[in-house]
Amino acid sequence: MTVIKHLTKGLKLGVGVLALSGLCITAAFAKDDINIDYEKFTTDNGLTVIVHEDRKAPVVAVAVWYKVGSKDEPEGKSGFAHLFEHLMFNGSENYDDEWFGPLQEAGATGLNGTTNFDRTNYFQTVPTPALDRILWMESDRMGHLLGAVTQDKLDEQRGVVQNEKRQGEDQPYGTLFNHVVEALFPSGHPYNHTVIGSMEDLNSASLDDVKGWFNQYYGPNNAILVLSGDINAAEAKPLVDKYFGDIEPGPALAKWQSWVPERKANTREIIQDKVPQTRIYRLWVSPENTSPTATDLFIAASVLGDGKNSRMYKELVYDQQIATNASVFNYELQMASIFGVSVDVKAGEDAG
């Protein structure tokens, strides 16, 4: 059983201070700012490039971030941003094969991609001599993808994503987030549906949807290329121009604004699961990730409930011995964030 409380009261946001359910913590900030040197430039077609030089090893971490996620999905197309991410690994017009082969052959590590509400990213670390290869491949799928996307590929990846959804939701407490986003964010809010989407919407995805998504969101002017490691900006500029310079920019896109919904009352929801142990969540909508308060909440969550040495874990699991796990988090997003407390209630203890 999972008990969820969506709260409006009890969370006091202030500079460095969090008061929550009778616990109070003041965050201590370091005097010296963390400084990571980097250079940033923008190409003529709008691609933003960030370069961090680190010569400790002859490797370069390469990541491409597209400013598009599930919040950008139109009604009836939930899950499409993640489905499209899968298609990006199935070949492009000038390399119509699986993405991983030539990179593993070159000694690349950490190859993957992820999608969340706000963005989609693709990343890998390659030996310096393989930098040309990965930049060519990333530019080919940025500028020359659609000719390689077929109905068979779409159907295959649709099945893969739907299987991921089944696996995730069949786990203990696996349907929780479906309830959370629907309860915290009102109908019409871009965060009102999960990233994985619904089976019905995934079934409805078409090749025309693929083309529209690519043409609207996957232009260089909506992307950030990050190069970190055995390279500097002077070395990166000619390579970026060589591989990305001829890609046409996509349409200009409007920027999303902060939207932290106001709740008029606390609500409570009880979800029955196959798991016998009760888990309690208390959840609030908190400010967006660019707000200074988001930093305060991140620090507070870390101290209160990040790991077995955190205050809440020690209090509930070690000292009172009424729970088997306790954690606190602030899931930071572009338009609004989710602050949450999770407690697994020990068998025989009162979950009320």
Total domains in the fold of the chain: 2
Distance separating alpha carbons of residues 96 and 145, to the nearest angstrom: 9
Domain of 320, CATH number, reads: 3.30.830.10
Question: Smallest Cα–Cα separation from 88: which of 225, 253, 216, 213?
Answer: 213
Distance separating alpha carbons of residues 279 and 178, to the nearest angstrom: 16
Among 220, 244, 268, give the residue marking a domain's end. 244
83 shares a domain with 198:
yes
Average pLDDT score over residue span 212-230: 98
Asked whether 132 and 239 are in contact (CB, 8 A), the reply is yes
On whether residue 120 sits in a domain, the answer given is yes
pLDDT digit string, tens, across residues 288-343: 999 999 999 999 999 999 999 999 999 999 999 999 999 999 999 999 999 999 99
pLDDT band of 265, cuts 50, 70, 90:
confident
57 shares a domain with 20:
no
240 shares a domain with 108:
yes
Average pLDDT score over residue span 223-231: 98
Q: Which residues pair with 339 in a beta bridge?
A: 284, 330
> What average pLDDT does the structure give for the chain?
91
237 shares a domain with 127:
yes
On whether residue 251 sits in a domain, the answer given is no
Its pTM stands at: 0.90
Cα separations (Å) of 226 from 45, 187, 289, 349?
16, 35, 20, 50
135 shares a domain with 189:
yes
262 shares a domain with 116:
no
Predicted confidence (pLDDT) at residue 27 exceeds the cutoff of 70 = no
207 shares a domain with 325:
no
DSSP 285-315: EE--TTSHHHHHHHHHHHHHHSSTTSHHHII
Distance separating alpha carbons of residues 175 and 169, to the nearest angstrom: 5
334 shares a domain with 187:
no
273 shares a domain with 226:
no
At 11 the pLDDT is 42
On whether residue 351 sits in a domain, the answer given is no
Q: State the residue range of the domain holding 214.
A: 39-244
Predicted confidence (pLDDT) at residue 26 exceeds the cutoff of 60 = no
Average pLDDT score over residue span 208-231: 98
Predicted confidence (pLDDT) at residue 36 exceeds the cutoff of 80 = yes
Asked whether 108 and 125 are in contact (CB, 8 A), the reply is yes
332 shares a domain with 221:
no
185 shares a domain with 70:
yes
Predicted confidence (pLDDT) at residue 6 exceeds the cutoff of 90 = no
Question: Smallest Cα–Cα separation from 256: which of 334, 185, 338?
Answer: 334
Residue found by looking up tokens 């070949």 in the block: 91
Chain centroid to Cα 317, Å, comes to: 30
- Sign of the Cα pseudo-torsion (177, 183, 185, 187, in order): positive
On whether residue 249 sits in a domain, the answer given is no
Predicted confidence (pLDDT) at residue 24 exceeds the cutoff of 50 = no
Please list, in sequence order, all residues whose beta carbon lies within 8 angstroms of the beta carbon of residue 200, skipping any fewer than 6 positions away: none
Task: Give the number of C-alpha atoms closer than 13 A to the C-alpha of residue 265, restricted to the C-beta side.
Answer: 2
Among 244, 278, 304, give the residue marking a domain's end. 244
264 shares a domain with 237:
no
DSSP state of 230: S
